[in-house]
Amino acid sequence: MKTIRLMTLFGSVASMILVSSPSWAETPNYLKVKEAEVEWESKSKGKVLDVEIETSAAVPMDGKAGAFGYGALTDGTNNVLVLVTHLPIQDSTHVDPKSGFHAHVLDLKKPTAACDGATLEVDLENSGNNTGFDANYTWSIKGTKIKIEGVPVTDLGDAGVENLVSFTIKPVLDAQQNPTNLCVTVAEQI
């Protein structure tokens, strides 16, 4: 059973709390979302978004668990905020060297033939043109607690959060080991 509860607007802070039960047995526990909170705040620099997610098990931080992440879908599949790891692909100047985690704002699309069976595919061209693609957002992962803080809402196309997801990524690489496609399979959506 999934529950969504909206918090009341107090001054310039709006908050949304989502609680979810695991959706399927084969999903690793670190991709099962127990609870999540999304907050919008007005600050001197404009509106910002904060996301907190609690998982059912500690998030692997050794870079050896494969390619996966957590995301806030904001405008359908446009301007999606993600915290992701996918070593050894280097597509950010703000990658944690041990875990590989970093944040992006990117666009997704229907999967092409290269991503057959995936839920979505990263729109590499449009994502690379997004000003938030290589942004240095403040984030942390401590055990089961994930935070992404102070994301300018303008980087997200001024859209609200529609869903939170956990996901895995399967890169399709060319002969030089550069990604030609990034296939996204949603593990859980709340």
Q: Which of 90, 67, 102 is nearest to 176 (CA)?
A: 90
Q: Average pLDDT in the 30-49 region?
A: 89
* pTM, two decimal places: 0.85
- What is the pLDDT confidence band of residue 1, given thresholds at 50, 70 and 90? very low
CA separation, residue 126 to residues 9, 35, 107, 148 (Å): 34, 31, 6, 22
pLDDT for the residue numbered 8: 27
Q: Which of 108, 121, 48 is nearest to 78 (CA)?
A: 108
Query: Quick check: 77 and 163 in contact, CB under 8 A?
Result: no
Q: Is the pLDDT of residue 56 over 80?
A: yes
The chain-wide mean pLDDT, for the chain, equals 84
DSSP-assigned states of every residue in 79-114? SEEEEEE-TT----SS--TTT--EEEEE-EE---GG
Q: What is the pLDDT of residues 147-173, one digit of tens each?
A: 999 999 999 988 888 889 999 999 998
Residue 53, both tokens? 């997610």
Taking residue 185's Cβ as centre, other Cβ atoms within 10 Å add up to: 15
pLDDT for the residue numbered 74: 86
- What is the pLDDT confidence band of residue 23, given thresholds at 50, 70 and 90? very low
pLDDT for the residue numbered 18: 43
Q: Is the pLDDT of residue 24 over 80?
A: no
Q: Is the pLDDT of residue 7 over 70?
A: no
| SS3 labels along 114-182 | HHCCCCEEECHHHHHCCCCCCCCCEEEEECCEEEEEEEEHHHHCCCCCCEEEEEEEEEEECCCCCEEEE
